[in-house]
Amino acid sequence: MYIIIIGGGKVGFYLGKALLEEGHEILIVEKDASRTDFIRNELGGVCIRGDGCEVTTLTEVGTGRADMFIAVTGDDEDNLVSCQVAKHKFNVPRTIARISNPKNETIFKKLGIDVTISSTNIILEYIEQEVPTHPLMHLLDIRDKGLEIVEVKIPANSPTVGKKVKELSLPAGSFLSLIIRQKEKPQAPTEKTVIQAGDQIIAVTTPEAEGTLRALLRGL
């Protein structure tokens, strides 16, 4: 796969290095001359100096045949614009932008960026995993399909404790795919499975139904 990376900072450098080791063809576009030299010394001729938002630079590096375009500079607006140029001028099938301000996630999505990665959000999620009282945890987004995989822990006082799965009126588009219990093997719940306190439930849901699902499983 041919992958273009915009920004040769720490993220871009290590990302490029990892992708090279996996056997991909990569190219890093970096604005700074000495940083470009550094990357060339370390990784070989896979880095060119240039502005990753400029059409001329992107033409030079063959963006038209790129399978993936990843913008990881430290500036959200630069990442947005270079991804938009790649998408609309060169029809790159998959564009990925790093964002610092988590609020930009929805904006970028609305403006046509395929995937956004917010390091701030990732760190926040890790913190949330460490907080045992957190009601619902995001595990994975399946963005193209508008689905997400979440984990819900059932508290002892939840009204769902003792109920069978078929007695729950799950919101549309949501279903329970796995129940993890202490000292038991993880099991795929059937209609007859009875919810117990302390169950860790892995569920598939939609962003819209997430709140309803949480309220249902944990009680208000």
Partner 1 sequence: MKVVIMGCGRVGARLAGLLDIEGHDITILDVDAYSFRRLPPDFAGTALVGDGTDEESLRKAGIEQADAFVAVTQGDNRNIMASQITKHIFNVPKVVCRIYDPLRRELFNSLGLEALSPTTTFAQMLKDRIER
Token pair for 71:
């913008």
Q: Does residue 105 bind partner 1 (CB under 8 A)?
A: no
Question: Exactly one of 84, 118, 158, 174 binds partner 1 (CB under 8 A); which one?
Answer: 84
Query: Between residues 112 and 219, which has the closer beta carbon with respect to partner 1?
Result: 112
# residues near partner 1 by CB under 8 A? 19
Q: Does residue 30 bind partner 1 (CB under 8 A)?
A: no
- Name the phi and psi angles at 32, rounded to 5: -85, 130
The closest alpha carbon to 47, from 61, 62, 59, 67, belongs to 61
Beta carbons within 10 angstroms of residue 77's beta carbon: 10
CA–CA distance, 95 with 165 (Å, rounded to integer): 40
Q: Does residue 85 bind partner 1 (CB under 8 A)?
A: yes
The closest alpha carbon to 7, from 108, 79, 104, belongs to 79
Tell me the closest approach of the beta carbon of residue 202 to partner 1, in angstroms. Answer: 33
What residue type is 44 in one-letter code?
Answer: G
Question: Exactly one of 18, 62, 67, 88 binds partner 1 (CB under 8 A); which one?
Answer: 88
Query: Between residues 81 and 154, which has the closer beta carbon with respect to partner 1?
Result: 81
Let me know: does 48 contact 66? Beta carbons within 8 Å. Answer: no
Interacting positions 44-83 with partner 1 (CB under 8 A): 53-56, 75-78, 80-81
Among the candidate windows 29-37, 99-107, 123-131, 148-156, which touches partner 1 by CB under 8 A?
A: 99-107
CA–CA distance, 220 with 158 (Å, rounded to integer): 8
- The contact set with partner 1 (CB under 8 A) reads 53-56, 75-78, 80-81, 84-85, 88-89, 101, 103, 107, 110-111
